[in-house]
Amino acid sequence: MREGLAVARVGGKLHGRKPKLSPTREALLVDLHRTGQKRPPDLAELFGIGRSTVYALEPPATDAAAVGRRRTGPVK
């Protein structure tokens, strides 16, 4: 198995999974979400990706109200 990995590295083929969106499309998705033009489920359908991918690309909240709603400890 290690021989196969070594061959892949030499051939430049070992990079993991390819991103679902190009950097340009990812920037467009984030911009549409940030400006409130589209909701995450709509973006997922528009770009042909899962909602979880949309939420993973979503930048973290920076305003105090949103940060205060996040859970930081264990669920009781």
- Does the reported pTM lie above 0.95? no
DSSP letter (8 states) at residue 69: T
Domain limits for position 44: 19-58
Q: Report pLDDT digits (tens) over 29-63.
A: 999 999 999 999 999 999 999 999 999 987 666 65
Does the residue 42 lie in any domain? yes
Does the residue 65 lie in any domain? no
Does the residue 26 lie in any domain? yes
What pLDDT does 9 receive?
78
3-state SS assignment for residue 47: helix
Does the residue 70 lie in any domain? no
What is the C-alpha R_g of the chain?
18
Does the residue 45 lie in any domain? yes
Does the residue 73 lie in any domain? no
When divided into structural domains, the chain yields a total of: 1
Does the residue 11 lie in any domain? no
Task: Give the CA count within 13 Å in the CB-facing half-sphere of 42.
Answer: 7
Going by C-alpha positions, the residue among 45, 74, 73, 41 that lies closest to residue 58 is 41
Average pLDDT over residues 5-25: 80
What pLDDT does 72 receive?
60
Going by C-alpha positions, the residue among 24, 28, 19 that lies closest to residue 53 is 19
Residue 74: pLDDT band by 50, 70, 90 thresholds? low
Q: Is the pLDDT of residue 70 over 70?
A: no
